[in-house]
Copies of this chain bind each other. A is one copy, B any other.
Amino acid sequence: MVSRLQLDRWLMMGMIGFVIGLMGFFMHQLIEQIVDFKWDTIEDLIDDENMGLAWLFSVGYSVAFVLFSAALVIFWRPSAGGSGVPEVTGFLNGTRIRHIFSIQTMVAKFFSCVAAIGSGMPVGPEGPMIHLGALVGAGVSQFRSETLNFKLPFFERFRNSEDRRNFISAGAAAGVASAFGSPIGGLLFSMEEVSSFWTTTLSWQIFFCCMVSTFTTDLFNSAFEGFRYMGDFGQFKTMRYILFNIDKGVDVNILMFIPTVLLGVLGGGFGAFFTILNLKVQRLRKRILSGMTVKWKQSIVRLAEPAILMVLVATASLFLPDAFSCTQYTCVPPNSTEIREGCINSTTSPYHVDIGAVVPYTCPSGSIYQQNGTWATNGTYSELASLLFGTTEQAVRLLFSRSTHVMFNYGALSVAFVFYYLFTCLACGTALASGILVPMLLIGGIYGRMVGLGMVSLFGVHTDKTSYWKWMDPGAFALIGAASFFGGVTRLTMAVTVIMMELTNDVQVLLPVMVSVMVAKWIGDFFTHPIFHAVLEMKCIPFLESDPRVTIMGKSIKLELYTVKNVMTSPVVTVCERASVQELAAIMLNTCHGGFPVLHIKANGKGRFIGIITRLELMVLLSKEDLFEESDGNGPSDISHDVNWVEFEELLIDKLANPEAKADMLKRYIEEDRYKNKYLDLTYYYNQSAFSIPEQFSLQRTYVLFRTLGLRHLTVVDKHNEVTGIVTRKDLMGFNMVERLSEVMQVELDKL
């Protein structure tokens, strides 16, 4: 019952998952190495009270990595910059984007991302992992590389655009799965955000791919720490493989939904503002760069930008904590609601600050002694340094930790919020290959914790386990806040919820998380687009939404009231079933259309639509001179000839090799007389299953047809089946429909 093809497809999904899992493992370990060395050295230097040297080291080390990261992108592979999510999304929607799937891009992206995150810039590796995953999906499944110029004889059946697209969707999903350790979350992320075409069968295969990817990353990570083999290969320690594992969940209470809705509103507002701010910065950057005419100046500016940003980040993270006084370790003793200073972690009082999790910075560590039968300390730590030092993951873990009501106060949280909000917003869009998913969790976690802290300030600490107020845990609100900001920026729902569940192992707060995500989405949608779509627009990637939405003068237009005739492109360049070689060559040289309707010439001399042929297919056919037929001088004959079959596979290319030589060939065809009476019979080559619709077809249905079936060309015919127009992606883009329909409306108005 299972065909060989299906079996191969599953196998391929497993292979893609494995490669991505391995890649995720290497990236994780490399980043850990770089980051650990940086912060260990800095903390040592601070311990020695050598702030100057610490600053020098921090800035030097970080800027070096940032320069390396940016240089890779700027001088080698510009397509490796940014997160890559909009590009992959655009590609899967049907737009070809140059170079995003080449081996060099992969190498550049990998190292640029490792260096960028290693440097300490507040960015995350998840976006690049999505792009890298898509790259693996595109590369492994094809078993060939144009760059490396090889082509293995396996899986040739997957060298078609549908399979390629599916493997890329799978790769993107597996990238998230590996980076977050979140297989179902990755699957849903790919479905909700990245992919435009999705089937149930595909989701099963991607499920498998994500599973293998997560498994591989977890398995290798289980045995290694900073590339040091630890001997416990195969033991998946929860603390390692669940990124932000929550131990003690809280029971949900209906009152919890009041601050949750507030968090949702904040998430939507902050998220929308983040998107708007980020776009403004990106536009400004674009304007400044395009103002420069000299290429190398542009490059220098693009290289200098993240470096300067890095200097600011490194300096701020090192000196800002100095502006705050040290905090003494505190806890809430058993059977008490009073926060007491000096006492420390004990099994009976869980409301503590965990020594070892926080950063001492320049604060005196003090000593631990026993007082009245309980352990106490006069040691101190720096709240802000705990949030700014180390990786963003570590900071998130602190924010999410439960029963730590007294760990952070408003001051440190506010400063950290501004710090991360600002720098993440500025860093996202520089030349670095980096994403913003974990920083988003961090930003949301900070204001979430502030709201939670506000509740504690208002209603006091409740340590009683059975208390009605036990839900008032700042750590739980940090989690909900993180989800709300994630939702407010990306506007995803299912994916965010499941990712939060898988990241934290906390199903208890599922409902509050859902509520905050939903509210954040509503609020955010009210202000602006989701960030990935806004970036798509800014990058001029023509993206077709699943539902068409056209707004003219503030009013949303009912597309049912218009016909395809209102937006189609006309006239159309067509070719005949049996076409003159010289005419075809001229068409190839003078137009850049991707497809041409094929006509059958009727007795009355007019052409009836019979199918479509793509530019690439025509080019392949034109390069085979032995296919050309001599005409009898009276135009093409209707007699069928013996056909030299061009191998089917030769037509299945997706890029033209050696375009200059092809152009020369076409010019020769036009100039040389001996091609004058040559004809090419397209009968066996054109696509007979091309859609055509009548002119009066409703615009709404046209859009749905085009988008749902993922068409590239849709021919419009009149009642005699003669071609009157063609619809391509561009014609259905929002701005284009607005323009054409405005004209139509104007004509209607003029009539009155």
Which A residues fall within an 8 A CB radius of B?
A: 1-3, 183-184, 187-188, 192, 199-201, 203-204, 207-208, 211, 214-215, 218-219, 222, 232-238, 241-242, 249, 251-255, 468, 493-494, 497-498, 501-502, 505, 507-508, 510-511, 514-515, 518, 521, 525-526, 546-547, 551, 556, 600, 608, 610, 688-689, 691, 693-694, 696-698, 701, 704-705, 708-709, 719-721
Complex CA gap A218/B501 in Å reads 19
Complex CA gap A235/B472 in Å reads 12
Choose among B192, B199, B200, B201 the residue that contacts A200 (Cβ–Cβ < 8 A): B192
Given contacts A507-B242, A514-B211, A705-B709, contact A219 B608 (CB under 8 A): no
Contact B201 A547 (CB under 8 A): yes
Contact B547 A211 (CB under 8 A): no
CB distance from A464 to the nearest CB of B (A): 13
Task: Please indicate the chain B residues that have their CB under 8 angstroms from the CB of A493 in the complex.
Answer: 203-204, 207
Contact B494 A207 (CB under 8 A): yes
Choose among B234, B518, B600, B701 the residue that contacts A255 (Cβ–Cβ < 8 A): B234
Contact B610 A719 (CB under 8 A): yes
Task: Please indicate the chain B residues that have their CB under 8 angstroms from the CB of A556 in the complex.
Answer: 3
Complex CA gap A441/B232 in Å reads 33
Complex CA gap A252/B218 in Å reads 10
**Additional A-B contact list (5), CB under 8 Å, known A207-B494, A233-B254, A505-B508:** A183-B510, A184-B514, A214-B511, A238-B251, A691-B705
Given contacts A2-B525, A211-B511, contact A253 B238 (CB under 8 A): no
CB distance from A248 to the nearest CB of B (A): 11
Task: Please indicate the chain B residues that have their CB under 8 angstroms from the CB of A701 in the complex.
Answer: 689
Contact A502 B494 (CB under 8 A): no
Given contacts A184-B497, A494-B203, A505-B249, contact A698 B688 (CB under 8 A): yes
Contact A694 B705 (CB under 8 A): no
Task: Please indicate the chain B residues that have their CB under 8 angstroms from the CB of A232 in the complex.
Answer: 468
Looking at A218, A255, A511, which has the most chain B CB atoms within 10 Å of its CB? A511
Identify the closest chain B residue to A197 (Cβ).
B708
CB distance from A552 to the nearest CB of B (A): 13
Complex CA gap A235/B471 in Å reads 9
Complex CA gap A233/B255 in Å reads 10
Complex CA gap A515/B241 in Å reads 17
Contact A251 B236 (CB under 8 A): yes
Contact A511 B215 (CB under 8 A): yes
Task: Please indicate the chain B residues that have their CB under 8 angstroms from the CB of A252 in the complex.
Answer: 218, 236, 238, 241
What are 25 A-to-B residue pairs whose CB atoms are below 8 Å? Answer: A1-B526, A1-B551, A3-B556, A183-B514, A184-B494, A184-B501, A187-B494, A200-B546, A204-B493, A204-B521, A207-B514, A211-B514, A211-B518, A215-B511, A234-B253, A235-B468, A236-B252, A236-B253, A238-B508, A501-B501, A608-B719, A691-B693, A705-B709, A708-B709, A709-B709
Complex CA gap A708/B707 in Å reads 11
Looking at A237, A241, A510, A546, which has the most chain B CB atoms within 10 Å of its CB? A510
Given contacts A192-B203, A689-B697, A697-B689, contact A511 B218 (CB under 8 A): yes
Complex CA gap A690/B192 in Å reads 30
Contact B218 A546 (CB under 8 A): no
Contact A502 B511 (CB under 8 A): no
